[in-house]
Amino acid sequence: MSEGRPVIGICTALARARWGVWERDAALLAYSYIAAIQRAGGLAVMIPPDGSFEGDGDQVLDLLDGLILAGGNDIDPACYGADPHPETEHTVPERDRSELALARRAVERDLPVLGICRGMQLINVAFGGTLRQHLPEELGHEEHRRTPGSFEGSDHDVHLERGSLAAQAAGEVLHTTMSHHHQGVASLGDGLKVTGISVIDDLPEAIEAPGRRFVLGVQWHPEADERSRIVAALVEEARQYRDAARARGNGAAAYRTARGSA
């Protein structure tokens, strides 16, 4: 019988933040991500950028049952061999390097991985793909980020491929999403498949890695929608991963058991 909550690591941004009389650099994450993990029965652990992950991601992945790559700033185009567009701003290369290393290693370990917005783009880059750096210039509209800094009025539908991981996680093939992004997938990473497209313009909005336990990227923000089942699907897969690892005597569950008895 499974016991305890599956541990879900979620990567944070680096940003300047103010609280009380203080203004400092901070490892930052919108609380809606934490709340979504907790509602789904997971234990949320925030993971700030750490340069050591580039050489050894196992030191943190050993502690986890699942990984979420959260939204945030644009990815440095140098990560996918491109020059920056004038609208590509506020990149944080140390975050990019840290999360790319964790994403690649997590996939190698078959750890459940969910990428949200920027996180979907990061999965694509981790698999060798590229990004479209400013969609309004290419598509001629602002429908994917109607009001900067707000999800109000951001709803639009995405068509998910029947039988795909994305459709199974969402629980439907026509899924209403909350969107806030100005970049998107260009060339698709090796081994990935597009399983969701926007009904507005056929922009890829869900990608996954067939053959892996759970590698899913969604271009929208399920954590901002309490009706969404996407985060809960990741947490449930992490629970199954944890239980299977416990049965084998390895993984995060076995590590925590060993630490507790030491």
**Domain count within the chain:** 1
Query: Which of the four pLDDT bands, split at 50, 70 and 90, describes residue 248?
Result: confident
Query: Does residue 213 have a pLDDT over 80?
Result: yes
- How many Cβ atoms sit within 10 Å of the Cβ of residue 227? 6
**Nearest to residue 27, comparing CAs of 70, 57, 66, 60?**
70
Q: How far apart are CA 100 and CA 255, in angstroms?
A: 24
> Is position 46 within any domain?
yes
- pLDDT for 228 equals 96
150 to each of 27, 66, 145, how far by Cα in Å? Answer: 21, 28, 9
The contacts of residue 227 (CB under 8 Å, 6+ apart) are none
- How many Cβ atoms sit within 10 Å of the Cβ of residue 148? 8
Q: What residues are annotated to the active site?
A: 117, 221, 223
> Is position 141 within any domain?
yes
**3-state SS assignment for residue 12:** coil
> Is position 203 within any domain?
yes
> Is position 110 within any domain?
yes
Please give the residue range of the domain that contains residue 113.
7-261
- pLDDT for 254 equals 54
Please give the average per-residue pLDDT across 63-79, as a whole number: 97
Query: Does residue 255 have a pLDDT over 70?
Result: no
By the 10 Å C-beta count (0-12 exposed, 13-18 middle, 19+ buried), 140 is classed as: exposed
**Nearest to residue 131, comparing CAs of 77, 199, 194?**
77
Token reading at 166: 């994305």
Q: How far apart are CA 201 and CA 193, in angstroms?
A: 18
Query: Which of the four pLDDT bands, split at 50, 70 and 90, describes residue 153?
Result: confident
Share of the chain above pLDDT 70, in %: 94
> Is position 2 within any domain?
no
Token reading at 7: 């541990």
> Is position 1 within any domain?
no
CATH number (domain holding residue 172) = 3.40.50.880
> Is position 66 within any domain?
yes
